[in-house]
């Protein structure tokens, strides 16, 4: 697809600085862009690369509208970049409508219109599948599940019994939803498995990456609220609730009964202990360990996680620990020397008294 810079600006609601007639055929990173490409800068540390890129145009914020070259100026360059990738380069998969002969579907299942059920899919009893749903090969849908309209489930994903999945949800390969949580009661000799009789609910417009696990509740519900995006290799335990439009990055682990607010970002590798509450609009830094509640509108970092300003001060101290240790050793030696010096006259005086 080919578009002029003016057409692209109109599409994303931006403004052209430079030649509005320049032809754009694709989107590329600022380092790899060639003639015919449009690139973007959303991070100030890449500003110097404006002068070296071969791109025909650059998406920038209003702060950079005086830069040289053909510019598409908009308030959110990263969002504009995403929209132009979708417009110019994304090819929506062509799904084959219908049900593959190898699929196993229970007679009590209710299947919507315009669906694509691929090879070796299994669908259990009393399942409800919405319209325009796509189930890739080897997907398993357990008994009594509900799958909303326009949902896509990729190969080898497993949806356990009684799970509820909303509209326009994407679930990627090898993800498991509704599996048993890690619940055991000590019985004096070992551990008694606690039956996990609750359910898992995934609301509308949720994206879930590959190899992620979302456990069902012990009692009640594990809930992922609408618009939330979950990366690959994330573990969400029983009875967790994650609020609307949150971002959970790869390798995050959230323990049982934790409550996460709206618009929360939890960066990669962070761990959240169970039975705590994280407020709305919170950011948790990568590899942080959250062991206490976090109020709304805060950024926490570190293990154990602390408010970011306090943790930065801690990091400064940690970086200086080797020097501080040497300084303390020097002070200890000086103190020891002073103590010896102070004790010497006292010994002399006592000897004189004894001699007299």
Q: What angle do CA 82, 84, 89 make, to 5 degrees?
A: 100
* CA pair distance 111, 98, nearest whole angstrom: 11
Taking a C-beta distance cutoff of 8 angstroms, is the pair 213, 196 a contact? no
Q: What is the pLDDT of residues 262-284, one digit of tens each?
A: 999 999 999 999 999 999 999 99
Cα atoms in the 13 Å half-sphere on the side-chain side of 105: 20
Q: What is the pLDDT of residue 297?
A: 98
pLDDT class for 48, splitting at 50, 70, 90?
confident
3-state class of 182 per DSSP?
coil
| 144 included as an active-site residue | no
Q: What is the pLDDT of residue 264?
A: 99
In the CATH scheme, what is the code of domain 157-310? 2.160.10.10
* Closest-CA residue to 155 (of 172, 170, 143, 169): 172
Q: Choose, from 51, 238, 275, 327, the residue flagged as catalytic.
A: 238
Q: What is the pLDDT of residues 186-232, one digit of tens each?
A: 999 999 999 999 999 999 999 999 999 999 999 999 999 999 999 99
* Cα dist from 346 to 106, 114, 130, 250, 353, whole Å: 98, 100, 95, 68, 11
* Arithmetic mean of pLDDT, 126-130: 98
pLDDT above 80 (res 349): no
Q: What is the pLDDT of residues 142-156, one digit of tens each?
A: 999 999 999 999 999
Taking a C-beta distance cutoff of 8 angstroms, is the pair 145, 159 a contact? yes
The CA R_g of the chain, rounded to the nearest whole Å, is 30
* Cα dist from 226 to 94, 128, 207, 215, 262, whole Å: 26, 20, 10, 17, 10
Q: Is 190 exposed, middle or buried (0-12, 13-18, 19+ CB in 10 A)?
A: exposed
Q: What is the pLDDT of residue 354?
A: 57
pLDDT class for 49, splitting at 50, 70, 90?
confident
In the CATH scheme, what is the code of domain 3-88? 3.40.1390.10
pTM for the whole structure: 0.87
pLDDT above 80 (res 351): no
Q: What is the pLDDT of residue 5?
A: 96
């Amino acid at each position: 697809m080919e578009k002029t810079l003016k057409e692209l600006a109109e599409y994303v609601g931006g403004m052209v600085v430079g030649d509005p007639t320049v032809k754009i055929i694709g989107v590329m990173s600022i380092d790899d862009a060639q003639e015919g490409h449009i690139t973007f800068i959303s991070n100030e540390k890449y500003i110097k690369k404006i002068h070296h890129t071969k791109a025909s145009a650059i998406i920038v914020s209003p702060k950079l509208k005086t830069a040289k070259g053909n510019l598409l100026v908009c308030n959110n360059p990263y969002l504009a970049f995403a929209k132009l990738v979708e417009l110019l380069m994304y090819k929506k998969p062509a799904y084959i409508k219908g049900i593959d002969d190898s699929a196993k579907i229970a007679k009590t299942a209710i299947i919507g219109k315009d669906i694509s059920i691929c090879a070796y899919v299994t669908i259990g009893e009393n399942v409800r599948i919405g319209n325009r749903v796509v189930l890739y090969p080897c997907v398993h849908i357990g008994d009594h599940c509900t799958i909303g309209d326009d949902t896509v489930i990729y190969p080898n994903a497993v949806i356990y019994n009684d799970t509820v999945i909303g509209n326009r949800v994407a679930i990627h390969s090898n993800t498991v939803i509704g599996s048993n949580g890690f619940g055991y009661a000590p019985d004096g000799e070992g551990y008694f498995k606690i039956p996990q009789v609750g359910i898992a609910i995934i609301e509308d417009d949720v994206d879930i990456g590959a190899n992620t696990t979302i456990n069902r509740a012990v009692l009640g519900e594990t809930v992922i609220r609408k618009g939330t995006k979950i990366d690959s290799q994330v573990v969400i335990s029983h009875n967790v609730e994650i609020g609307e439009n949150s971002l959970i990055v790869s390798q995050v682990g959230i323990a049982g009964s934790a409550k996460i607010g709206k618009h929360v970002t939890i960066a990669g590798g962070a761990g959240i202990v169970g039975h705590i509450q994280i407020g709305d609009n919170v950011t948790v830094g990568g590899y942080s360990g959250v062991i206490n509640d976090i109020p709304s509108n805060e950024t926490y970092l570190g293990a154990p996680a602390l408010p970011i300003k306090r943790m930065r001060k801690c990091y400064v101290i940690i970086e200086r620990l080797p020097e501080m240790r040497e300084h303390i050793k020097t002070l200890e030696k000086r103190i020891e020397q002073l103590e010896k010096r102070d004790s010497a006259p006292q010994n002399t005086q006592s000897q004189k008294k004894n001699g007299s």
